[in-house]
Amino acid sequence: MELEAGGQALHAAERATVQAMSPYDQQLRELRSRLAEIATEQRRRERAAQVAQRASVRDLAKSGGMPTLADALASPEPLYPAATPLAALRAYLSSGGEIGFGFATRPGAIAFTDGRRQQQARTWGEARELHAQGWDPGAPAIPGVRVHLSGSRVERVVGVDEVVLTLPETN
């Protein structure tokens, strides 16, 4: 009998506690729901900003406001100081996505080839020097620039005309 009475008392205390917590549970559900709404709105705004930024890059690339990598390398005047690391350049695909040069795990280099050999450029000056010596971006039998999408490990080789650079004053 004593155990039965103790068990009933505990069940009664549990029911009373659940009833007392009921308004707080409701408030917690409402707070969590509101937090989820805010998080959804933040993601929506971030995505809208990304879409607008990509559209801006596409428009600038089409209008010539952003030089292609090929044009910048061939330009008589350097676009950036020679010591500028390639990892510090803001580069985009002409479709608008921000990229980095080189492999995602080893960023900041552009490979150049003379058709037989390959050499890596890590600064803007090295890249312009190799290009001036007749070396082309790419590897033997694989023309183009290896890039990776910023913030990801996705990488691919694209043509030098598909990469656009921001001008130094907008960097």
The pLDDT tens digits for 135-160 are 999 988 889 999 999 888 899 999 99
Share of the chain above pLDDT 70, in %: 98
Q: Is the pLDDT of residue 69 over 70?
A: yes
Domain boundaries, the chain: 1-63, 69-170
If pLDDT is split at 50, 70 and 90, which confidence band does 11 have?
Answer: very high
Q: Is the pLDDT of residue 27 over 70?
A: yes
Report the b/e string of 16-53 with b at 16+ CB within 10 A.
eeeeeeeeeeeeeeeeeeeeeeeeeeeeeeeeeeeeee
State the pLDDT at residue 169: 67
Q: What is the mean pLDDT of residues 76-98?
A: 90
Q: Is the pLDDT of residue 170 over 80?
A: no
Q: What is the mean pLDDT of residues 92-120?
A: 91
CA-to-CA separations, 104 to 148, 155, 159, in angstroms, rounded: 5, 7, 18
State the pLDDT at residue 158: 94
State the pLDDT at residue 92: 93
